[in-house]
Amino acid sequence: MTTKSFGEPILRKEDPRLVSGQGRYLDDLGHEALAAAFLRSPHASARILDIDVTDALDVPGLIGIYTYEDLEGRVAEPLPLLIPHPALLNGRTGYPLANEFVRHVGEAIVMVIAEDRYIAEDVVELIKVSYDVLQPVVGIQNAKAAHNAVHPSVPNNVSAHSVKEVGDARAMIKAAPHKLSLDLFIERSACSPLEGKGVYAIWEEDSQELRLWSSTQTSTGVRAAVAAKLDLPLQKVECIAPDVGGGFGVKIMHPWPEEVLIPWAARKLNRPVKWSEDRREHFISSAHERAQEHHIEVGFDEEGRILGLDVTFFHDNGAYTPYGIIIPLITSTQLLGPYKPASYRVEFTSLFTNTVLVIPYRGAGRPQGVFAMERTVDAIAKYLRLDRTVVRERNFIQPDEMPYDLGLIFQDGRPLEYDSGNFPASMAMLKEMVGWDNFETMRSEYAAQGRKIGIGVACYVEGTGVGPYEGGFVQVETSGRINVATGLTSQGQGHQTVFAQIVADELGVPIEDVFVTTGDTRRFPYAVGTFASRAAVMSGNAIALAARQVRDKALRLAGEALECDPHDLEIVDGIVRVKGDHTKSIALKTVAVLSNPLRYAFDESAKAATQFAVGDTSKPPVPEDQEPGLEGKDYYSPMASTFANGMHAVIIEILPDTAEVKILRYVVVHDCGRVINPMIVEGQIHGGVAQGVAGALFERMAYDESGQLQNASFMDFLMPYATEIPTVEAGHLETPSPLNPLGIKGAGEAGVIPGSAVFASAIEDAEGFEIRRMPISPSELWELRRTMKENA
Amino acid sequence: MNPEELFLVELTVNGNPLSARVPARRLLSDFLRHDLRLTGTHVGCEHGVCGACTILLDGKPVRGCLIFAVSVSGSNVTTVEGLVNNDGSLGVVQRAFHESHGLQCGFCTPGFITTIHAFLKENPHPTEEEAREAIAGNLCRCTGYQNIIKSVLRAAELIDSGVRDDH
């Protein structure tokens, strides 16, 4: 009997390889390749006057030095603007190597290729660049003030401006019985995968073909972009994402300058070339996220019901906008969470600054939106002296109101309509788990010992599984091995396991026989990528549909072989058999043999399919509407995103002398529809919560006024260790998505989203004064305490 | 400029004695990864903070990115590849990671496994808090550490139950 594996905590198929040192990450490949290193701008804003390579030329092992002047054809053009939007009036992108101007510290100016990385870095040290240093724009305040311009052709440093209204929020606020206003700020952070970016390219001169490997979240995207830049037919370019050491968003951007330059150099030199990003490079030349400043006006009734919500926010998009304005678009739409204000107005302005560019980091604009919304709800509760969860419950969209149209357009260009969810049930579960109603007793017990504790709560809704599509391919080999391929990539989500679980169940085969390949354009050339908690939803469903095709074909062929109606057949443990009569059966691998009529017998099993062995001589060997082989391919393209949701609660203690925040309990209630593998979903939540804690209490990008990132190392950027991260207590609700065949929703980003909101709520609860900026360090909290005391 | 001078280094790696000639500045992590092709040892920061490059030098966990290859002549180096049992089955800490979902992307994992292997020799029966402290010198961005702590405790349990571990 085949064990059902969907929904079970199946151990990961990728693990034995990865725990024994057999993983193959980017820098584990191409040991013989030439190495690239980059000279990067030390200034945030400058004009390049001269690049002097004289001293560098006689270094043994140097192969080539390249500046913008050396770039050819489309490689010398600006990098693409990947996601245009009507509100993005002044989008700007950089060049693979700086063309006269540099606009952030870390922008690549010179590429050096040498026999090895040590030599390439030696050469970089010997190149002298002279600059006319310009006044930089750092931070939202300076960008708004616009005394200096990041791009002289962009007025007021504004890349994009958008206003969206549902109802007349301003009039509703004016007429509301109660009003409040809040000013909020969230600081920058970054994905910081343990493996940085990397590219390795081989040019085959004889066949004029390029094969490249990139530590990317989208191998199909990189392939298309590189083919276009190098003016190569798509068929002559293949891109493979090998094992990838974490992504969290930063590796969905493409093409990075290096993804264009390394293949370009490999072709030019006709030698394999590799570049592996170091940690400082990752800090100053990849991407950050999060920095936003919000002003909120809210009007509400006696019960705390929101009548009008008016949000105006500024988004720091860094020096360039290659990824468009996806982040503020998500913030502006997902800010509403599980709530239904009677009217809503949101206006955002996206601003250029002379800092590293900003693209999605796990959560992608939602943590800021949730922070804004949840701070507002807490402020209403405090004003009306109501329990914070009661105000939330009074504003929730109810289960019987689903599907619920919020009247806005989501990041995928489709109406923002929640498909399902049960917010009151989630809140009830959260309150029960964390002991919300008994917290005052706990508070008094701690107070009696002179200890100060607080509790926080935060809710979110997350649109997951955005389109346009993903595809799946399933093939049964005559050995019984099942090959599965999908085009999107993996960075630790366990796709080789969860997709195998889906196929094992759909096809009725042991999971051990199923082998999944992701992110290899040779195996599946049509795909979008791994981001927006979409992989399980998109590829999971596509693979399920492909497996169903294979199953139908297998039953039809087996029906012919066993001379019975396919409807009377089932597949169990890789054997097709008659339901109720197990003596009539045929192995799936034998069906695979029969599916491919042969002229040549290459092995014992193949003999069964040769021309003198099988076939109805009155028909062609492959019937007119059929294809040889036991395989299927299908695509899943949803009408709209599916919406997961969750609620977090945290109990903290704040130390009296140091204002250090200690986490006593962290509770998560999460609903991502039907769960394929609960062990993996919990793992995603753990990791997300850790990044939420990091963003709330530890991590920030410390830019000084001249645009130098002062904490661009793991010494100074306080990524938490095990001692800073709590044990997560997680509870699951499963409200199946009605939108896709498997009923699943995404889970990848969820854990991080309410981080800043839930800690701000808890700290405010413990201290009694307003928390309006995150992250918050012990010294900032201590200082806030002191000022509050002085002002009191 | 002259090509770099090379120096002889003789050491034992995962039980195999070997000698090589390397530039004085070649990092042990690069020597293991690129010269010996033992790519299980990863490099996450190159400044000794993340711990992904942790290897065992005469049984003690050290950062491979902070040591020059020439300086370990005469030593015994064990990498994550060397913790696999002689019959090819997973070593006890490796198995515990698999069973406890102690890894996601797997990039930091070899550094944790070597660290924990050495820790359990010192303290075969750790409490949860001791397990947490033991891994507090290594960074992981995927797991939130919860299942890594579980892996430490699981490995201790497996050792206690007499599961095979050749190293």
Rounded CA-CA distance A271/A262 in Å is 11
Q: Which helix (H) or strand (E) holds A783?
A: helix A778-791
Q: Give tens-digit pLDDT for A474-531.
A: 999 999 999 999 999 999 999 999 999 999 999 999 999 999 999 999 999 999 999 9
pLDDT of A2 > 70? The answer is no
Homologous superfamily of B84-160 in CATH? [2Fe-2S]-binding domain (1.10.150.120)
Q: How many CB atoms lie within 10 A of CB A792?
A: 6
CB contact under 8 A, B90 and A19: yes
Rounded CA-CA distance A110/A250 in Å is 23
Q: Are A702 and A713 in contact (CB under 8 A)?
A: no
Region A546-574: mean pLDDT is 95
Q: Is A27 on the interface with B (CB under 8 A)?
A: yes
End-to-end CA gap in chain A = 72
Best CA proximity match to B64, nearest among B11, B24, B80, B56: B56
What's the complex ipTM? 0.98
The beta-carbon neighbor of A21 closest among B98, B110, B137 is: B110
List of residues 6+ apart from A747 with CB closer than 8 A = A464, A533, A536, A644, A670, A672, A675, A681, A684, A685
3-state secondary structure of B128: helix
The beta-carbon neighbor of B79 closest among A16, A21, A719 is: A21
Q: How many CB atoms lie within 10 A of CB A321?
A: 26
A735: distance to nearest CA of chain B, Å? 25
Q: Report pTM.
A: 0.96
CB contact under 8 A, B141 and A687: yes
Token pair for A642: 């599916």
List of residues 6+ apart from B63 with CB closer than 8 A = B29, B48, B51, B53, B54
Residue for token digits 């720091």? A316
Q: Give tens-digit pLDDT for B83-122.
A: 999 999 999 999 999 999 999 999 999 999 999 999 999 9
pLDDT of A609 > 80? The answer is no
Fill in the amino acid letter for A693.
V
Q: What is the mean pLDDT of chain A?
A: 95
Task: Please report, rounded to a whole number, the percentage of residues in chain B having pLDDT higher than 70.
Answer: 99
All residues of chain A having their beta carbon less than 8 Å from the beta carbon of residue B81 are: 20-22
Rounded to the nearest angstrom, the gap between the alpha carbon of residue B156 and the centroid of all alpha carbons in its chain is 18
Region A417-426: mean pLDDT is 95
All residues of chain A having their beta carbon less than 8 Å from the beta carbon of residue B142 are: 246, 492, 683, 687
Token pair for A555: 């039953």
HSE on the CB side for A94, CA within 13 Å? 30
Residue for token digits 């995103």? A641
Residue for token digits 């000698």? B19
Residue for token digits 């991502």? A672
Q: Give tens-digit pLDDT for B42-92.
A: 999 999 999 999 999 999 999 999 999 999 999 999 999 999 999 999 999
Nearest chain A residue to B41, by CA:
A21
A18: distance to nearest CA of chain B, Å? 6
Query: Would you give the DSSP letter of residue B153?
Result: H
Nearest chain A residue to B93, by CA:
A19
pLDDT of A437 > 70? The answer is yes
Kindly report the three-state secondary structure assignment for every residue of B71-96. HHCCCEEECHHHHCCCCCCCCHHHHH
CB contact under 8 A, A719 and B144: no
The beta-carbon neighbor of A683 closest among B38, B45, B101 is: B101
B137: distance to nearest CA of chain A, Å? 7
Fill in the amino acid letter for A345.
R
Fill in the amino acid letter for A253.
M
Kindly report the three-state secondary structure assignment for every residue of A457-501. EEEEEEEECCCCCEEEEEEECCCCCEEEEECCCCCCCCHHHHHHH
The residues with which A485 forms a beta bridge, in sequence order, are A473, A517
Nearest chain A residue to B149, by CA:
A722
Select the residue from B146, B148, B149 to test the A interface by mutation, using most A Cβ atoms within 10 A. B146
Q: Give tens-digit pLDDT for A116-167.
A: 999 999 999 999 999 999 999 999 999 999 999 999 999 999 999 999 999 9
Nearest chain A residue to B39, by CA:
A28
A553: distance to nearest CA of chain B, Å? 35
Region A714-738: mean pLDDT is 95
CB contact under 8 A, A194 and B46: no
Nearest chain A residue to B4, by CA:
A60
The beta-carbon neighbor of B84 closest among A20, A61, A715 is: A20
Long-range contacts, A141-148 (Cβ 8 Å, 24+): A142/A353, A143/A314, A143/A316, A143/A351, A143/A352, A143/A353, A144/A314, A144/A351, A148/A45
Q: Give tens-digit pLDDT for A382-417.
A: 999 999 999 999 999 999 999 999 999 988 888 999
CB contact under 8 A, B141 and A58: no
Q: Is A32 on the interface with B (CB under 8 A)?
A: no
Rounded CA-CA distance A271/A244 in Å is 24
Rounded CA-CA distance A15/A503 in Å is 19
- Return the ∠ at Cα A327 (arms to A324 and A333), rounded to 5°: 120
The beta-carbon neighbor of B143 closest among A493, A686, A723 is: A686
All residues of chain B having their beta carbon less than 8 Å from the beta carbon of residue A755 are: none
Fill in the amino acid letter for A701.
M
HSE on the CB side for B1, CA within 13 Å? 15
Q: How many CB atoms lie within 10 A of CB B13?
A: 21
Predicted local distance difference test score (pLDDT) of residue A520? 95
Q: Are A354 and A45 in contact (CB under 8 A)?
A: yes
CB contact under 8 A, A246 and B44: no
Beta strands at A581-587 and A630-636: parallel, antiparallel or unpaired: unpaired
Task: Please report, rounded to a whole number, the percentage of residues in chain A having pLDDT higher than 70.
Answer: 99
Predicted local distance difference test score (pLDDT) of residue A717? 96
Q: Would you say the CATH fold of B84-160 matches that of B6-79?
A: no
The beta-carbon neighbor of A683 closest among B33, B147, B149 is: B147
A1: distance to nearest CA of chain B, Å? 24
| Domain locations along chain B | 6-79, 84-160
Q: Give tens-digit pLDDT for A648-684.
A: 999 999 999 999 999 999 999 999 999 999 999 999 9
Nearest chain A residue to B113, by CA:
A19
Query: Would you give the DSSP letter of residue A164?
Result: E
Token pair for A572: 């169990």
B108-120: string of b/e by CB count within 10 Å (b at 16+)? Answer: bbbbbbbbbbbbb
Give chain B's length: 167
The beta-carbon neighbor of B42 closest among A11, A25, A191 is: A25
Helix (H) and strand (E) counts in chain B: 5, 5
| Measured CA distances, A554 to A516, A569, A591 (Å) | 20, 10, 6
Q: Where are the beta strands (DSSP E) in A215-352?
A: 237-240, 273-276, 292-300, 306-316, 344-351
The beta-carbon neighbor of B106 closest among A23, A721, A751 is: A23
Q: Furthest-apart CA pair in chain B: how many Å?
A: 60
Q: Give tens-digit pLDDT for A309-328.
A: 999 999 999 999 999 999 99
Question: What domains lie within chain A, and their CATH numbers?
Answer: 32-134+197-276 (3.90.1170.50), 292-466+639-791 (3.30.365.10), 468-636 (3.30.365.10)
**Which residues 519-558 in chain A show a CB within 8 A of chain B?**
none
Region A242-266: mean pLDDT is 97
Region A272-280: mean pLDDT is 98
Best CA proximity match to A565, nearest among A573, A580, A555, A553: A555
Nearest chain B residue to A9, by CA:
B101
B124: distance to nearest CA of chain A, Å? 20
CB contact under 8 A, A24 and B141: no
- Among 3.40.50.360, 3.40.50.720, 2.30.30.90, 3.10.20.30, what is the CATH number of B6-79? 3.10.20.30
pLDDT of A1 > 60? The answer is no
